[in-house]
Amino acid sequence: MLPNIAVLFLYVSLPGALALRREQKTYVAQLQRGGQWSLNSSRPAASTLKNDELKEFAYKAAGLAYSMAPGNYKYVDRKTGALKAKVPKGWILLNKDQVNKESGSHIFLFKSSKSGGIVVAIRGTDLPSNPRHTCGPGCESDLKADWELFDQNFIGPKRELDGSGEKYIEDAVSMVQKAKEESNAVLVTGHSLGAALAVIAGARVGGVAVRAFSAPPFARHLPSKKAAAGMELVYSGDDPVYLATKKRGGFGGASPCVFSEAVHPGCRACGKQTVAGGAAALTGTVWADTKECTQCWPGAHFLSNYANVGSC
């Protein structure tokens, strides 16, 4: 059976946990400000890139998928409990039921009031956000899906699967199909777990654009070896997920856009450890369970690292 996640998290060192908490508090604060979620305010916003309407909105939609869903990144008024993450002017949220869904996949459909095009945004993993690493229903559900979809027993022990991963894929496929019924212009996006689901669902449904940020190893879930050809897969060069995906199955025929980014502490060593294999980290199944990866992944993998992706 899957080990109790709350117990597993206690093994993470307190210094590493505190560092994680600081990173996540910064990230949540950026989400709450409703901006471009950039760690460096001097970097130009993603909206300055020359992209079409749906592509320009993809990054912000991926962020809203985190801040609108229940969990560690949900942005609510502490006094009233009202959701404060706002859908930008010119966009309409079509499925408000996702806002209060406690566990399982979280997928939001945003429709442009200007063009009628739809962006399907899939939330990534709801990771623990405190030094004790408590893991709620959404977090536990996401981690089960992560283990089933991406670990492949490469860096983690063999686990008993319960179908969580395939259920997440089914949910994503269903929502993309609904979007296609509503509009003939659909783009699917997401970050991390959400990015991989965007690629997989986009490939299985077909006829949609995909812009995914840091998708973990997804190739074995595609309907064909080249099913991701033409999709926009964006990676930071020092994100261990990029190296893991390259190592474990590749990019499904897509040519990933890897932008340069300052190397975060621990990332060089973490990248080598992730490619080599070893014990799986407790907060994910892609990077290794080492102090270097504990240092690296919050800065290199968080969506905020993808605020400005150059020409990608």
* Domains along the chain with CATH numbers: 5-306 (3.40.50)
* Cα–Cα distance, 290 to 176 (Å, whole number): 37
pLDDT computed for residue 129 by the predictor = 55
- Cβ–Cβ < 8 Å for 207, 180: yes
CA angle 215, 216, 219 (to 5 degrees): 95
- Backbone phi, psi, residue 292, to 5°: -65, -40
* Mean pLDDT, rounded, for 75-89: 73
* Mean pLDDT, rounded, for 210-226: 95
CB atoms inside a 10 Å sphere around CB 257: 14
Q: pLDDT tens digits, residue range 245-295?
A: 998 889 999 999 998 766 788 998 988 888 877 655 555 567 777 888 888
* Cα–Cα distance, 216 to 150 (Å, whole number): 7
Confidence band of 158 (pLDDT split at 50, 70, 90): low
pLDDT computed for residue 155 by the predictor = 47
Q: pLDDT tens digits, residue range 119-140?
A: 999 999 887 655 455 677 778 8
Q: Which residues, other chains included, contact 236 with Cβ-Cβ below 8 Å and sequence gap of 6+? A: 214, 242, 258, 259, 261, 300, 301, 305, 306
Q: Is 181 exposed, middle or buried (0-12, 13-18, 19+ CB in 10 A)?
A: exposed
* Mean pLDDT, rounded, for 41-62: 62
- Backbone phi, psi, residue 94, to 5°: -85, -25
- Classified as helix, coil or strand, 99 is helix
